[in-house]
Amino acid sequence: MSVSVNRERFEQLMMAAVDGELSTLEQREFENMIAADELLRKEFDEFKKIKEVTSTMHFASPTNEVWDQYWLDIYSRIERGLAWFLFTVGSAILLTYVSYKLIETILQNQALAWTARIGILGLLAGIALLFVSVIREKWYVRKKDPYKEIQR
């Protein structure tokens, strides 16, 4: 075996050793490698230290003051409002198309009796009206809520 193949093998085994994923046979092979070469032993020790340090790291969450300042920024409010508008319009278009195709399929299905077709269409219309009603109610309450700026 050449030196580069040995180096590649060492790096593979070292990464597996750092993660605790070596088989018994690989463990023996790896221990022989680091016993035979002090530089490899030092490199392995350094990687173990790096693994220790990085496993205890975590991202710090922004404070409430940072988030409050973010939402006071006009760009952030416009960006979020535009995103919700586009999401709502896209959803409405998609739901309208899917509903149209579903109704078309139900009406053209000759295997279903007329009473079943009317019942299914009534059920779908009721679900759609309830959905719109809940959305309108939430929108109305959101606009009229005098306590919306208060954090609970």
Q: What is the pLDDT of residue 2?
A: 44
pLDDT tens sequence across 49-60: 988 888 888 887
Domain boundaries, the chain: 3-56, 64-144
Q: What is the pLDDT of residue 90?
A: 92
Can you give the pTM of this predicted structure? 0.39
User: How far, in Å, CA of 19 to CA of 26, rounded?
Assistant: 13
CB 43 within 8 A of CB 11: no
- Short-list 39, 37, 31, 35, CA closest to 13: 31
Distances in whole angstroms, Cα of residue 50 to Cα of each of 6, 35, 109, 123, 131: 23, 21, 65, 61, 53
Residues of the chain with pLDDT under 50: 1-2
Q: What is the pLDDT of residue 13?
A: 92
Strands (E), the chain: none
Helices (H), strands (E): how many in the chain?
6, 0
User: How far, in Å, CA of 83 to CA of 61, rounded?
Assistant: 24
Per DSSP, 19 falls in state T
Q: What is the pLDDT of residue 41?
A: 92
